[in-house]
Chains A and B, each alone.
Chain A
Amino acid sequence: MNGLLPGLYVPGDSPVHRLDPRVKMGAVLLLMMVPFALQGVWGYLLLSAFVVLVSIVSRVPLLALLRTLRNLFWIGFFMFFLYIFTTPGQPLMAWGGITATWEGLLAAGAQIYRLCLLVVMASLLTFTTSPVQLSHGLEALLAPLERLRLPVRELAMVLTIAMRFVPTLFEEIEKIARAQRARGVDFSNGPLRRARSLVPVFVPIFVSAFRRANDLATAMDARGFRCSLHRTRLRQLKPGLQDLVAILVVLGAALAAIGVEKW
């Protein structure tokens, strides 16, 4: 296992880890909406401070959290140019027909920062919530949809298994890529050759994924799993006092971030 995959669960026993997954998912959804209600610097500062506080309480290394932002590089790059050239305002620089503006620079900065906040908040959720808990929480949140005959439990099971195999899959891609490099595949040369060089990696990955799926289905079968079976769960979701406190704290932080600007 190399490096930290984006959004990989970091086992731990912090107060944040122990929260009910439904509460955490709800809180993150709420907090993710807050930046869209913010205009000025103070709100962002407050919200950022809150996020840093939560990451300290949850004992997720800040560096690991910031690392997840690396994946945003190209999107950020693209957004930067989009905003800086398309926002009308005071000209900053001009080439040919296009003009970069001060307002554009500010807007680009704000948008990119907003995006980073969203990603960090989502990562905090996945870092502190085991995939089983995530899918359990999702299952509980979506439970009302079962009345509409949506197979929510089966979907949650599929989700759990998918998440269980993400690290395995990454490991395998890395291994096969290295094996093919040892046979002369070049992953660095030009987009066309690069696309061609993916075939020797992804064909084996698909073959192995099917074999794994087959093995896993057999193992599940052997352990008595059948669809539409009435199953019980080891972990019952029981919100406690800490969940109530968490809801209040998050609500307070959200309101404060929005309120500080109006004030």
Chain B
Amino acid sequence: MRPFIEIENLEYAYPLEGGGQIAALRGVNLAIEQGEFVALIGPNGSGKSTLARHLNALLLPTSGTVRIDGLLTSDPRHLGAIRQKVGMVFQNPDNQIIATTLEEDVAFGPENLGIPPDEIRQRVEAALAAVDLLDYRLHPPQMLSGGQKQRAAIAGALAARSSCIVFDEPTSMLDPPGRRQVMDTIRHLNATEGLTVLLITHSMSEAMLAQRVLVMAAGQIVLDGPPGQVFSQVEQLRGLGLDVPPMVEIAHRLRGWGMDLPSPILTVEQMVEALGTGVAKPGEMEGYPLNFTRAWPAGQCPAPGRKREDPTPPDLPVRSSMLIQVEDLTHVYAPGTPFERVALRQVNLQIAAGERVGILGPTGSGKSTLAQHLAGLLKPTAGHVLLDGVPVHSAPRNYRLQVGIAFQYPEDQIFEQTVFREVAFGPRNLGLDEAEVAARVQWALEMVGLDPETMSQRMPFTLSGGEMRRVALAGILALRPRVLILDEPTAGQDPQSRRGLLARIRAWQEETGLTLVIISHDLEEGSLLQVVDRLAMLKGGQVVADGPSRHILSDGSLLSDVGLDVPEHIRLLQALRQRGKKVRTDLVSTVEIAAEIAHVWGLNPLPHQKGGP
């Protein structure tokens, strides 16, 4: 039998405005069988989406062929059949829902196929049941969560009886529960219905769930194999700017330090299993040999497993010195209407000057509302938000502008014709003279890693997504705020840009000493912990935990109670402790954890010598 998807020597070039073209695919050969679950990873701009769009004839090859179930996509007569066979789910949940109720939207595909109404109804109900949304069928899309919208899009393809769905970063705009819902749905449909899946993702933990992983770089498929095999190519993946799953990275380090580990190790369970056979030596909590942990002075490291009722950890500054004071803050949206919603309930939070705080919570926990209150953009329904003792909402504008805030996807607010004017917009509003404005623009662009010389006169809308985000952030930095609030600053970026941006944010904080508040719905697989050292956890509009991040993380149940993903490397430490290994659980980076394991297992870690014996 021939493969369901057959691609031969596929090349594709995008036409450029003003002539010329740019090659996006350079000779792709690929065969995918019916029922396979394939993940496609690769840095931004490597051609993943372009490839995906060839699978249901949204794009047609410049040269080479694409066959779906034997049908050539370049033949216009097959267009309808191909689009029925291959469904697509896109990144932005909002921009693919057409109708105003869920069931009407799911019916859109079958309606286009001219299916009789009675059969459409049956198909819609079956499809909604398959993604577990039958109860929501009369809901308008704006009342659904991101995860529900993406599942609705999956139902739309199922109702058209697609046997293959191509997912183009379906989870990158979702929160952890949404991601889990979508991934569970995908796996379930693949396993029980034999749905063929091609999943484009930036998340290595999602890619690991597939049977087969493809890695794209510069328009070609450079790696193709089962996850264990592909992820063992640590150096090559790093060279492409891709993340390596945390367990793979820890195993890689441990092997480099001479530990004999079986291969492959992808999951926490495999790692625990592998370490179980290692040489165990009683580890010591004191006398920790490596200088990774500066945040905890000697003797103050909390014992693992403490409960949250514990008194406030010792290194929180006293209250009188607080820069930001949130007192009994309550916020209610749309009071007195059917859509009334309490977003914050009597929140109390103090932040000292120069602190680096992460505010974590699932969607709907009130964290974005809290962020806007910190910036004085919302009027408290009850309570106060004080900056240096002054209520920030009712303070004069220039006082309020001491707090800079970048919303999610800040590039959406760009409106000027040049980068210079865009970044200068805030400083000019402050009433600064032009010399000062120019100096600030220069400084801000340098801080975000853009060259002021070449960038200043460019049009923002011609830049890449990552560059636009940095321009938008420069526009906030140029206000030289004392407090900088970033709402999901790395959302939707690929792993390399994410790491780069977080490192920059850390550098801004260190250079300017500003107070940093980062809002996030997850720990970004731990990378957020490289930037913040205090975590406040929000749930249902209330602060349920607040303290140094190591303290919060050492209590494994805190994250999962709030509905957040526990990063894998934290789970590893917890699993090892359960097995009776005396590892510390207040570690945050994979380097620290690998070193701790090496120490406890009696190896001599030499982090400077890469490669090992």
Q: Which residues of A contact B (CB under 8 A)?
A: 1-4, 9-11, 61, 63-64, 67, 130-132, 160-161, 163-164, 167-168, 171-172, 175-176, 178-186, 199-200, 203-204, 207-208, 211-212, 215-216, 218-226, 229-236
- Residues of chain B with a CB closer than 8 A to A175's CB: 407, 412
If A64-B337, A179-B407, A218-B58 touch, whether A9 touches B377 (CB-CB below 8 Å) is no
- On whether the beta carbons of B334 and A184 are closer than 8 Å, the reply is no
Residues of A within 8 A of B430 (CB): 184
Could you tell me if A225 and B112 are in contact, using CB atoms closer than 8 angstroms? yes
Contact, CB under 8 Å: A185 / B333: no
Question: Which chain B residue lies CB-closest to A219?
Answer: B96
Set of chain A residues within 8 Å of B87, measured between Cβ atoms: 222-223
How far is B341's CA from A238's CA once the two chains are assembled, in angstroms? 37
Residue contact A67 to B337, C-beta cutoff 8 Å:
yes
- Kindly list chain B residues whose C-beta atoms are within 8 Å of the C-beta of A3: 333-334, 337, 339
In the complex, residue of chain B having the shortest beta-carbon distance to the beta carbon of A201: B415
Known contacts: A4-B339, A185-B429. The answer to whether A164 contacts B112 by CB under 8 A is no
- Are A160 and B99 in contact, with the CB atoms below 8 A? yes
Tell me which residues across on chain B come within 8 A of A229, comparing CB atoms. 112, 114
B113 touches A224 (CB 8 A): yes
Q: Is the CB of B338 within 8 A of A61?
A: yes
Interface pair B141/A164, CB less than 8 Å apart: yes
In angstroms, how far is the closest chain A Cβ from the Cβ of B60?
13
Bound-state Cα–Cα, A216 to B333, Å: 29
- Listed by A's residue number, 24 A-B pairs whose Cβ atoms lie within 8 Å are A3-B334, A10-B338, A63-B337, A132-B100, A168-B94, A168-B142, A176-B413, A183-B425, A185-B429, A200-B425, A203-B415, A207-B461, A212-B94, A215-B96, A223-B108, A225-B108, A226-B112, A229-B112, A232-B110, A232-B120, A233-B107, A234-B103, A234-B110, A234-B111
Residues of B close to A200: CB separation below 8 A: 413, 415, 425
What 10 new A-B contacts, CB under 8 Å, besides A3-B334, A11-B138, A222-B56? A11-B101, A171-B142, A183-B413, A215-B96, A219-B88, A219-B98, A222-B58, A224-B112, A232-B117, A234-B124
Which residues of B approach A to under 8 Å, CB–CB? 56, 58, 80, 83-84, 87-88, 90, 92, 94-101, 103-104, 107-117, 120-121, 124, 138-142, 156-157, 160, 333-334, 336-339, 372, 375, 377, 397-398, 401, 403-405, 407, 410, 412-415, 425-426, 429-430, 461, 475-476, 479
Contact of B413 among A61, A131, A179 (CB under 8 A): A179
Complex Cα–Cα for A175 and B256 (A) = 49
User: Is A223 touching B114 in the complex (CB atoms < 8 A)?
Assistant: no
The smallest C-beta distance from A253 to any residue of chain B, in angstroms, reads 26
Residues on A with beta carbons closer than 8 Å to the beta carbon of B113: 224
Query: CB distance B99 to A132 under 8 Å?
Result: yes
List of B residues within 8 angstroms of A181 by Cβ:
377
**How close is A161's CB to chain B, nearest CB, in angstroms?**
6
Query: Complex: how many Å from CA A200 to CA B104?
Result: 36
Closest CB-CB distance, B7 to chain A, in whole Å? 18
A203 to B422, CA, bound (A): 12
Contact partner of A182 among B115, B160, B404, CB < 8 A? B404
Question: Chain A's nearest CB lies how many Å from the CB of B62?
Answer: 19
Q: Select from chain A the residue with minimum beta-carbon distance to B341.
A: A1
By secondary structure, the A interface counts as helix
A207 vs chain B, min Cβ distance (A): 7
Contact A220 B412 (CB under 8 A): no
The reply to whether A233 and B397 form a contact with Cβ atoms under 8 Å apart is no
A164 to B415, Cβ gap below 8 A? no
Q: A216 to B398, alpha carbons, bound, how many Å?
A: 40
Q: Which of B56, B116, B337, B414 has the most CB of A within 10 A?
A: B337
Complexed CA–CA distance, A176 and B408 (Å): 11
| Interchain CB contact under 8 A, B117 and A235 | yes
Report the minimal beta-carbon distance from A180 to chain B, rounded to whole angstroms. 6
> Inside 8 A of A203's CB, which chain B residues have their CB?
415
B51, chain A: closest CB distance, angstroms: 15
Which residue of the partner chain, among A10, A179, A234, contacts B410 with CB atoms under 8 Å? A179
Q: Is the CB of B124 within 8 A of A184?
A: no
The answer to whether B98 and A63 touch across the interface, beta carbons within 8 angstroms, is no
Choose among B101, B112, B377, B476 the residue that contacts A223 (Cβ–Cβ < 8 A): B112
Q: How far is the CA of A223 from the CA of B377 in the complex (A)?
A: 40
Q: Report Cα–Cα, A186/B400, bound state, in Å.
A: 12
B94 proximity list for chain A (CB < 8 A):
168, 212
* Complexed CA–CA distance, A109 and B157 (Å): 56
Contacts of A219 in B (CB 8 A): 88, 90, 95-96, 98
Contact A231 B377 (CB under 8 A): no
A208 adjacent to B104 (CB under 8 Å): no
- What chain A residues lie within 8 Å of B56 (beta carbons)? 222
Known: A184-B430, A212-B95, A222-B87. A204 touches B80 (CB 8 A): no
The 4 closest A-B pairs by CB, nearest first: A184-B429, A215-B95, A203-B415, A234-B107
B120 vs chain A, min Cβ distance (A): 5
Task: Give the complex CA separation of A178 and B405 in angstroms.
Answer: 10
In whole angstroms, what is the CA distance A109 to B449 when docked? 64
Residues of A within 8 A of B377 (CB): 178, 181-182
Distance in Å: Cβ of A154 to nearest Cβ of chain B: 14
Q: For the complex formed, measure the closest distance between the CB of A160 and the CB atoms of chain B, giving whole angstroms.
A: 7
Partner of B100 from A9, A207, A225 at Cβ < 8 Å: A9
CA–CA, A219 and B100, complex, Å: 15
Contact (Cβ within 8 A) B99 A224: no
Min CB distance B54 to A, Å, is 12
- Cβ contacts under 8 Å, B398 to chain A: 184
Shortest Cβ gap from A223 to chain B (Å):
5
Do residues B372 and A130 form an inter-chain contact, with CB atoms below 8 A? no
In the complex, A232→B84 CA distance in Å?
16
Q: Is there an interface contact between B83 and A223, defined as CB atoms closer than 8 Å?
A: yes
Q: In the complex, A196 Cα to B426 Cα: how many Å? A: 15
A164–B98 touching, CB < 8 Å: yes
A223 proximity list for chain B (CB < 8 A):
83, 87-88, 98, 108-109, 112, 156-157, 160
Q: From A176, which residue of chain B is reached at the shortest CB distance? A: B413
* Contact indicator A224/B109 (Cβ below 8 Å): yes
